[in-house]
Every structure is written in C-alpha cells, then in structure tokens.
Amino acid sequence: MKVATSILTADFNNLTFEIESIKSSDYIHLDVMDGHFVPNISFGAPVLKDLKGITKVPLDTHLMIDNPFQYIDDFVKIGSTYITIHVETEDPLKTIKKIKDNGVKAGISLKPGTPIDTLFSLLPWVDLVLVMTVEPGFGGQSFMLDQMDKVKILDALRKKHNYNYVIEIDGGVNDKTISMVHGTGVDIVVSGSYILNQKDREKAILSLK
C-alpha cells in the first residue's frame, strides 16, 4: 500500500518543516480547490511552485476545479507526477490528452454521488482513478464505506481489460479505516488530517502502509 499525504491542513507558514516531516510518503497530495467546483478555496500553482525545490517526493495533484484544461500547464510546471481531474468537468478526455501530451500521468476522479459508469469510456486513457471516500472540499470527514463498491468494480475492470491505471482513494483514511481498504485493489491511499495531526508523522504513515 502506498501513501499520499495531503497537505491541505499543513502550516503553510512553515512549509519546509511540514514537508520534511512527511518525507516517507510515497506521494505528496495537492488538493487544489477553486471555490466553485467544491465549496472551498485552497491553493494554486503560485503557492506550490517551489515544492520540488524542497522535496524529492513525487507530487500527486488533484484538481477540484471547474475548468482544469486551462490550468494544466501551470501544474505541469510545478513538477506534478500525476494530475487528476474530475469526470464532472467539461470534456474530460480533452484535458486528459493535454496532461499526457505534457509527459505527465493523468488521473480521473468522481464525487461520491456520481455513478461509476461515467468513467468507463475514459479508463483506457488514464494512469490513475481516484475514488472519493468523502465529499470533496474539506478535510477531516468520515470515511464513506459504500464508495468501496466502486473500487471493486474498477479493480475487476482493470483485470478484465488489462488496464494500466492504479486505484487511489481519498477521504477519511486513518489507522482504523485502513482495515477496510487492504486487499480491495486499492494501490494508493490519500490521508491528510490523520497524518498531520500526529506528533510522530512517520509512524502514522507507516501505520497505513
């Protein structure tokens, strides 16, 4: 199991220390919110542009924004390994192709209330599928177990069609809910509040792995 630590609730006045404290993460997860697609505003590329100067941990960028296409270049420039957009946005395949044309791995995500079959036509194109196990927009929410049914479907389709995507889940993952995740086909778990609220963040990351 790989762990992507979300820095949504990190102390951005002391970001170098915050990033150093989670250096055992497999990825640093960047929750980019515009206040329109989700009811919250987080941070954008100007705030994140120097991250690769302070860490070698790969960046896993999740764009929870209405018009991701016009911002792809910005998040390529910050050094993203993955850029994930939402299926609910306009012409997601066009945006996925733009991501991949820039040599970056492309991900697709969906809100809890969005049917899983909306993703099916995009699965051959993507490198990652992100299943939200909370409503996107805020940290610290409770894990939605029913969303794991989507994971089962995605894992079965991956095996049936030899798709190459990894499966990631995001929301409410901690040392208790991780037991519902192991062995389900999930490759990466995103965790923010659980890890960042611990004194020993390395131990918290290890508890999920």
Query: Catalytic positions, please?
Result: 31, 170
Q: What is the CA radius of gyration of the chain?
A: 16
Strand, helix or coil for residue 89? coil
- CA 154-186-202 angle, 5° bins: 160
86: part of which helix (H) or strand (E)? Answer: strand 80-86
Strand, helix or coil for residue 57? coil
- 177 Cα distance to chain centroid: 17
Q: Are 150 and 87 in contact (CB under 8 A)?
A: no
Question: What tokens does 101 get?
Answer: 């044309």
- 54 Cα distance to chain centroid: 20
